[in-house]
Amino acid sequence: MEFSAEISRISDRLRISDSVLFITGAGLSVDSGLPTYRGIGGLYNADDTEEGLPIEEVLSGEMLRSEPDVTWKYLSQVSQACRRATFNRGHQLIAQFEYSLPRVWVLTQNVDGFHRAAGSTNVLDIHGDMHDLCCTECTWQDWIDDFGELDIPPECPDCGGLVRPQVVLFGEMLPFDKVDRLHAELSEGFDIIFAIGTSALFPYISEPVYAVVESDTLTVEINPDVTELTDVVDIALPMRAVESLERIWDQSGLDVT
């Protein structure tokens, strides 16, 4: 079977590992029916929007403040892409690894919330979750599954202020608490680091892999496409996420505790 030696090497290492980091991107959610968009956790392939502006400008913090109706138009389209979609077997398998090994963390670029929905608890959703809403002027917060229920742009039911999803828009800072937690976990080290379905264009996504190149940590990329990590990792599997994870799980012989 194709890549059997590589799968066996990964599975053998998992059986003697205590700690694993899964770094995930939009490619993991392909089997949930979501496209591998460009942008925040995966957004758009087109260079420009209907307004003739780059998506990076439309989905920026500055645009949200100045023209919230434009930003929310495209946030709503992202929500529509996620509608009726849910976590897939790949998300479930990553959750199973968490319940089978002493220490497993997920660092994800995705804003779909599928990792937690599938059962993972140690999740650093570095770009946030589209479903978590907050008011920009008061302390109101809520979780909503479908933006179709909202007026665009939505107003806070408590104070009338502008509501936004708690995601990192272009030009905004990453959340300090999640960055600090990531650094703390990285300082403890991992036996294996997986990069799954991510182009690894953001430095904070590729950094954990580059940082362990000279160490005993086994690094694995699972991605049908070539990325900047392909020639850096110890093992590169040019495969879809679900197929790879299923084979690795089966051969590892691990059990959910």
Written in H, E and C, the secondary structure of 198-213 is CCCCCHHHHHHHHCCC
Provide, for the chain, the percentages of residues in helix, strand and coil under a 3-state DSSP scheme, each rounded to the nearest 5: 35, 20, 45
Beta bridge mates, 167: 128
CA separation (Å) from 191 to 22, 54, 86, 153, 163? 11, 40, 30, 45, 41
Phi and psi, residue 154, nearest 5° = -75, 150
For residue 148, is pLDDT > 80? no
pLDDT of residue 35: 64
- Which segment of 102-111, 132-141, 146-155 scores lowest on mean pLDDT? 146-155
Q: Which amino acid is at 205?
A: I
Could you give all domains of the chain from N- to C-terminal order, each with its CATH number?
4-34+87-127+173-252 (3.40.50.1220), 55-84+133-167 (3.30.1600.10)
Question: Does residue 101 contact residue 17 with C-beta atoms inside 8 Å?
Answer: yes
Q: Is the peptide bond before 154 cis (omega within 30 degrees of 0)?
A: no
Residue of 91, 127, 131, 183 marked catalytic: 127
For the chain, the straight-line distance linking the first and the last C-alpha, in angstroms and rounded, comes to 30
pLDDT of residue 47: 55
Q: What CA–CA distance (Å, rounded) separates 118 from 152?
A: 30
Alpha-helical (H) ranges within 114-240 are: 114-118, 176-188, 203-210
Q: What CA–CA distance (Å, rounded) separates 201 from 181?
A: 21
Q: What CA–CA distance (Å, rounded) separates 22 from 205?
A: 11
pLDDT of residue 52: 81
Give tens-digit pLDDT for 94-136. Answer: 999 999 999 999 999 998 899 999 999 999 999 999 889 999 9
How large a percentage of the chain has pLDDT more than 70?
93
Q: At 1, is the pLDDT very low, low, confident or very high (cuts 50, 70, 90)?
A: low
For residue 207, is pLDDT > 50? yes
Three-state DSSP class for 81?
A: helix
For residue 180, is pLDDT > 60? yes
pLDDT of residue 46: 52
pLDDT of residue 30: 83
Q: At 74, is the pLDDT very low, low, confident or very high (cuts 50, 70, 90)?
A: confident
pLDDT of residue 36: 60
Give tens-digit pLDDT for 219-248. Answer: 999 999 999 999 999 999 999 999 999 999
Give tens-digit pLDDT for 8-59. Answer: 999 999 999 999 999 999 889 888 877 665 444 444 555 567 778 888 888 8
pLDDT of residue 37: 54
Three-state DSSP class for 129?
A: strand
Long-range contacts of 235-241 (CB under 8 A, 24+ apart): 235/6, 235/9, 235/10, 237/3, 237/6, 237/7, 239/3, 240/30, 240/31, 241/27, 241/28, 241/30, 241/31, 241/90, 241/196, 241/197
Q: Is 127 a catalytic residue?
A: yes
Q: In terms of pLDDT, which residue wins out, 161 or 76?
A: 161
> What is this structure's pTM?
0.91
